[in-house]
């Protein structure tokens, strides 16, 4: 038996019109890869029965499994059920068990059930209802000419639960896949993608030759530059052990300066953890980022036990009156050092980070992209400057992750 493959079909005119980006197919594709299932095609088709039918027939012809996503809702536009019945050459009949389940959901919400929802209880004769049903739209499964078709609703949380708990285990069992695939993501900052690739070239070549793991890079803006190690194996314990030893090899090559987390944590989460361990409070003073640094830190639940706050000093007089910055050019070493000292004292914070710079597009004092950053740890202020060749949004994002990474390194070394 050759390797079996699965393809994904997304149904919905709104997907073709670009009103909604089809993130469902991408997520299913990722899950198939992690489940060890090959996948060669993904198709989007509008709410047209003839075209949906042609796409499904072709998919069943060239792949062993097909997951069709969307078009299972209660309205007349939801055609997937009808088309599957046609492809099967079967009638649609009302499934009384489903009527009860759907009615119970509406009863449980104290809402009368719209009669439209009864459409969702129609099942082609010979098809099965998926046992996992998180919402009011049932998933379907049908074997057609020896191939298996799964239909799931387009609502992401309903779709994901069905795929994860029902469809993937089913495909793996039918395809005889017993191996498992796991990834570990190391996050880095301070080295370009090509720089990382160069440092890891020898190890990547060794893996190409000897197998065991694969390494991939993913630039992720303010989230850092990710290094993903992927391992395929027969048992959870085997895969875990290979992943961990490969992560050690990669980290010994790249060094801890570059790697800020081994478990896909954000830089903000890492800093909050370091502060918590050391019982330190954190303050921020920001100009060009305008609140982005504070916003990122506070996006993490529980940040309030470490984070005191941020002085967003966008105007010169706020820098002077609130932070005590002297009357000097705002984008300068002296200014950023005064800002970080001001953040510590005004916010009563043990450590602090500060940034000032020109985000563009119209520079006020300095060339666009010029940024000064400072950190204060143990009362010692350090500062440095970067000239970013980017647009406004990336200048703000890269400044945020850069100053936080500097703060991390100082916390790790000096405290």
Select from 42-50, 161-169, 246-254, 404-412 the region that touches its own copies (CB under 8 A): 42-50
Among residues 77, 114, 179, 314, the one that binds its own copies under rule CB under 8 A = 314
Q: Is residue 2 at the binding interface for its own copies, with CB under 8 A as the rule?
A: no
140-144 and 147-152: which strand pairing? antiparallel
Supply 100's token pair. Answer: 């009860």
Contacting its own copies within 149-168 (CB under 8 A): none
Among residues 36, 41, 155, 382, the one that binds its own copies under rule CB under 8 A = 41
Task: Specify the residue, 139 or 294, whose C-beta has the smaller distance to its own copies.
Answer: 294
Q: Is residue 205 at the binding interface for its own copies, with CB under 8 A as the rule?
A: no
Contacting its own copies within 283-302 (CB under 8 A): 284, 286, 288-299, 301-302
| Alpha-carbon gap, residue 186 to 246, rounded angstroms | 11
- Shortest Å, Cβ 39 to its own copies: 5
Cβ-based neighbour number of residue 20 at 10 Å: 15
225-233 and 147-152: which strand pairing? unpaired
| Alpha-carbon gap, residue 385 to 402, rounded angstroms | 11
Contacting its own copies within 339-368 (CB under 8 A): 346-348, 359-362, 364
- Shortest Å, Cβ 20 to its own copies: 8
Q: What are residue 308's phi and psi, to 5 degrees?
A: -85, -35
Among residues 63, 120, 310, 356, the one that binds its own copies under rule CB under 8 A = 310
Q: Is residue 31 at the binding interface for its own copies, with CB under 8 A as the rule?
A: yes
CA atoms 72, 78, 81, 83: torsion sign: negative
Q: Is residue 201 at the binding interface for its own copies, with CB under 8 A as the rule?
A: no
Q: What are residue 262's phi and psi, to 5 degrees?
A: -100, 0
Q: What are residue 246's phi and psi, to 5 degrees?
A: -70, -40
Residues 6+ apart with CB under 8 A from 204: 197, 215
- Shortest Å, Cβ 235 to its own copies: 23
In the numeric block, the tokens 């309030």 are attached to 304
- Shortest Å, Cβ 156 to its own copies: 13
- Shortest Å, Cβ 364 to its own copies: 7
- Shortest Å, Cβ 413 to its own copies: 26
Supply 273's token pair. Answer: 């953890």
Q: Is residue 214 at the binding interface for its own copies, with CB under 8 A as the rule?
A: no
Beta-bridge mates of residue 383: 374
128-129 and 282-286: which strand pairing? unpaired
Contacting its own copies within 384-413 (CB under 8 A): 392-393, 396
Cβ-based neighbour number of residue 193 at 10 Å: 14
Q: Is residue 33 at the binding interface for its own copies, with CB under 8 A as the rule?
A: yes
Residues 6+ apart with CB under 8 A from 380: 414
Q: Is residue 322 at the binding interface for its own copies, with CB under 8 A as the rule?
A: yes
- Shortest Å, Cβ 309 to its own copies: 4
Beta-bridge mates of residue 233: 180
Supply 342's token pair. Answer: 């001001």
Among residues 35, 42, 71, 136, the one that binds its own copies under rule CB under 8 A = 42
Task: Specify the residue, 153 or 283, whose C-beta has the smaller distance to its own copies.
Answer: 283
Binding mask 244-283 for its own copies (x = CB under 8 A): -------------------------------------x--
Task: Specify the residue, 138 or 309, whose C-beta has the smaller distance to its own copies.
Answer: 309
Q: Is residue 55 at the binding interface for its own copies, with CB under 8 A as the rule?
A: yes
- Shortest Å, Cβ 30 to its own copies: 3
**Number of chain positions touching its own copies (CB under 8 A):** 74
- Shortest Å, Cβ 322 to its own copies: 6
Cβ-based neighbour number of residue 184 at 10 Å: 21
Task: Specify the residue, 327 or 412, whose C-beta has the smaller distance to its own copies.
Answer: 327
Closest CA to 89 of 139, 126, 50, 133: 126
- Shortest Å, Cβ 408 to its own copies: 19
- Shortest Å, Cβ 365 to its own copies: 11
Helix (H) or strand (E) segment spanning residue 354:
strand 351-357
Q: What are residue 198's phi and psi, to 5 degrees?
A: -65, -45
Q: Is residue 303 at the binding interface for its own copies, with CB under 8 A as the rule?
A: yes
| Alpha-carbon gap, residue 368 to 331, rounded angstroms | 11
| Alpha-carbon gap, residue 252 to 247, rounded angstroms | 9
Q: Is residue 313 at the binding interface for its own copies, with CB under 8 A as the rule?
A: yes
């Amino acid at each position: 038996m050759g390797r079996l493959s699965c393809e994904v079909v997304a149904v919905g005119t709104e997907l073709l019109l670009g009103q909604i980006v089809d993130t469902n197919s991408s997520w299913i594709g990722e899950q198939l890869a992690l489940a060890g299932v090959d996948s060669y095609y993904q198709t989007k088709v509008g709410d047209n029965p003839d075209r949906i039918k042609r796409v499904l027939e072709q998919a069943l012809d060239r792949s062993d499994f097909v997951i069709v996503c969307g078009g299972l809702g209660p309205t007349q536009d939801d055609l997937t059920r009808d088309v599957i019945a046609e492809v099967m050459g079967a009638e649609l009949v009302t499934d009384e068990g489903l009527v009860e389940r759907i009615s119970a959901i509406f009863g449980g919400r104290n809402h009368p059930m719209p009669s439209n929802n009864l459409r969702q209880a129609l099942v082609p004769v010979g098809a099965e209802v998926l046992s996992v049903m998180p919402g009011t739209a049932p998933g379907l499964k049908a074997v057609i000419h020896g191939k298996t078709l799964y239909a799931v609703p387009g609502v992401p949380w309903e779709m994901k639960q069905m795929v994860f708990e029902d469809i993937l285990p089913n495909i793996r069992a039918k395809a005889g896949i017993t191996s498992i695939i796991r990834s570990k993501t190391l996050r880095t900052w301070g080295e370009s993608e090509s720089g990382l690739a160069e440092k890891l070239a020898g190890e990547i070549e060794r893996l190409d030759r000897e197998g065991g793991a694969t390494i991939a890079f993913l630039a992720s803006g303010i989230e850092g530059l990710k290094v993903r190690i992927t391992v395929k194996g027969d048992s959870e314990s085997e895969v875990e052990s290979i992943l961990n030893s490969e992560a050690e090899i990669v980290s010994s090559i790249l060094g801890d300066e570059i790697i800020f987390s081994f478990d896909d944590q954000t830089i903000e989460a890492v800093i909050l953890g370091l502060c918590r361990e050391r019982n330190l409070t954190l303050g921020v003073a920001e100009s060009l980022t305008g609140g982005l640094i504070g916003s990122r830190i506070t996006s993490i639940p529980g940040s309030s036990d470490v984070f005191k706050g941020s002085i967003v000093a966008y105007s010169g007089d706020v820098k002077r009156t609130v932070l005590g910055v002297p009357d000097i050019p705002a984008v300068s070493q002296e200014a950023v050092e005064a800002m970080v000292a001001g953040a510590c004292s005004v916010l009563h914070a043990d450590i602090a980070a500060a940034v000032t710079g020109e985000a563009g597009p119209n520079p006020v004092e300095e060339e666009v992209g010029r940024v000064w950053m400072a950190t204060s740890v143990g009362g010692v202020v350090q500062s440095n400057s970067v000239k970013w060749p980017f647009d406004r949004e990336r200048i703000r994002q890269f400044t945020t992750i850069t100053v936080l990474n500097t703060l991390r390194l100082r916390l790790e070394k000096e405290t």
